Chains A and B, each alone.
Chain A
Amino acid sequence: MDLYQQLILDHSKERHGCGLREPFDAQVHHVNPTCGDEVTLRVHVADGVVQDVSYDAQGCSISVASTSVLHDEVTGYPVDQALGTYAAMRAMLTSRGRDTGDEEVIGDGIAFAGVAKYPARVKCALLGWSAFTDALARAGIDISARADVTSPVAASAVGSEHPNDDKDAR
């Protein structure tokens, strides 16, 4: 199956950066209500740079691997660049296959290009990434200036628009 790229399988078994760490500026908990997949995710930002993304994820290979790739692709990068990576990742995943993704921008995220053809799985691939942007917002980062980050995603592409969270930002 072209959906399960080796890179996805590798990341789902060996999760990069997993575990919840200190220090952090915000913590969020997102779930996929249709299947019960969950992620608890923390961000730590300093000097405009994403210093750390730490998480505890439970779910299918797509959602777990995507969160692992998220860790690799945003940690150590300026916040604005990380948001650009998220926007590019989301655009690819919700394109139904029309946007094949730019490896220069999303790095290993390119392995998830095949997910776009399976609308029921897009939410899985976006779970960690949505949690990440939510955590940034709760950490006081203004993400509203970026229309490509805050615009609504077509409901048909990702199911529920409003992930549950337990509002435990601090």
Chain B
Amino acid sequence: MSALPFTPAESTLIRADFPILTRTVRGDRPLVYLDSGATSHKPRQVLDAERHFYEHLNAAVHRGAHQLSEEGTDAYEAARHTVARFIGAQDDEIVFTRNATEAINLVAYAFSNGAAGGGGGMGERFRLRPGDEVLVTEMEHHANLVPWQEVCRRTGATLRWVPVTPQGRLDLTSLDGLLTERTKVFAFTHASNVLGTVNPVRELADRAHAVGALAVLDACQSVPHLPVAVTELGVDLVAFSGHKMLGPLGVGVLWGRAEILDEMPVFLTGGSMIEMVTMEGSTYAPAPQKFEAGVPVAAQAVGLAAACDYLTALGMDRVHAHELMLVRRLLDGLAQRPWVRVIGPTDLTDRGSVVAFDVDGVHPHDVGQVLDDQGIAVRVGHHCAWPLHRALGVAATTRASFAAYTTAAEVDTLLEALDRVPAVFGLEVAS
């Protein structure tokens, strides 16, 4: 039997774990938070775990031999184990970073350092040269685009991209021409942060490997919302952030297959990541330590582990089912409003839980303002995916996005509030 959305009674219990959901905004209006794709709220269990670390275990982990240092290090490494288990990985394949953007930059800079012959990496596959190509897609968040533009600029490699169809899916017919023996890396998103499209990761990874390219996945909008087992995806490296999955700000994750991490040149250097240092030069620790320079984000990692435990207890299959129920409800509601156009797939096949739309004749900033006045928080703008908006011929969109704590009643509130938008701007709409 397939997983079911949360019942109203379960929803009430879940929401009680999130203190911020009881606050009011813009006067005395209850907060209707539909911006979890930007950042999610954090349950008390996560806040307690972070606080517990600071109150009882606080130490610079992987340093010193005193008891706090031991216990803090144990907590940090236990967090690594929890996060690894959450995505079906081995402990030493998990690298903690400050966020997903840093995780992707870590990989991009590994290619830069590889090209320069530095970084302690021996891997030939990380040497980018003029004539080599980096492939991305037109639906990427700037975090999985700009670092690759920069690495191409530094190495002389060429950036190419897979176009998006008007329906908001990747144009896979273009892959034959774009993936060649020149392609050294193919970086793409699992789930679009604008369209909600879930890409065929396994197929894309296999196609990348067929030409000898590395497959790098931006999983920021998938790991928090659907069951993900990294080893089944077929990719080599995966980046995601903690704060979008009920975890704290300030911690992200890079997962990499062990042999890939082993070959990969380092990015940030300094304390913690070394094996031996002399005045003339240094050798580096094995992964994941060689990618974790400086005092690690231990309290945040512990908080993220608590978020993984929280999501595991809810069941990721049920979180996914719940969010798809909300997406269906919103898409159905929007379909009854011909003055609203959904930007992205309108069926639930291979779909995540963000819904972007355009209100006829009203700029998204103005839509968001009217919704905010009624206590509804949505995202407006280009959502850090400016080229995608340009490709689809819109300057900006309004986006609603969900999490486990979002309710069907909140989707209904959004739909009712949307009905007030055209009138504010003196527009008449057919109902």
Contact = CB atoms under 8 A, between A and B. Distances in A.
Interface of A: 1, 3-4, 9, 12-13, 34-38, 58-62, 118, 121, 124
B54 interface: no
Given A62-B365, A62-B366, A124-B365, A35 B424 contact: no
B389 A59 contact: no
Size range of the chain B interface in the assembly: 10 to 19
Interface of B: 362-366, 369-370, 373, 380-382, 386, 389, 395-396, 424-426
Given A1-B424, A61-B425, A35 B369 contact: no
B366 A35 contact: no
Given A3-B373, A9-B426, A60-B365, 8 more contacts: A1-B370, A1-B373, A3-B369, A9-B425, A34-B381, A37-B396, A61-B365, A121-B365
B138 to A, nearest CB: 16
A9 B396 CA distance: 20
25 contacts: A1-B369, A3-B373, A4-B369, A4-B424, A4-B425, A13-B426, A35-B364, A35-B381, A35-B382, A35-B395, A35-B396, A36-B382, A36-B395, A36-B396, A37-B365, A38-B395, A58-B395, A59-B395, A60-B365, A61-B363, A61-B365, A61-B425, A62-B365, A121-B365, A124-B365
B318 to A, nearest CB: 35
Contacts of A61: 362-363, 365-366, 425
A161 to B, nearest CB: 19
Nearest to A13: B426
Contacts of A1: 369-370, 373, 424
Contacts of A4: 366, 369, 424-425
Contacts of A60: 363-366
A36 B382 CA distance: 7
Nearest to B395: A36
A12 B426 CA distance: 11
A37 B396 CA distance: 9
A36 B370 contact: no
A62 B364 CA distance: 12
Shortest beta-carbon contacts, A-B, top 4:
A60-B365, A60-B363, A35-B381, A36-B382
Contacts of B373: 1, 3
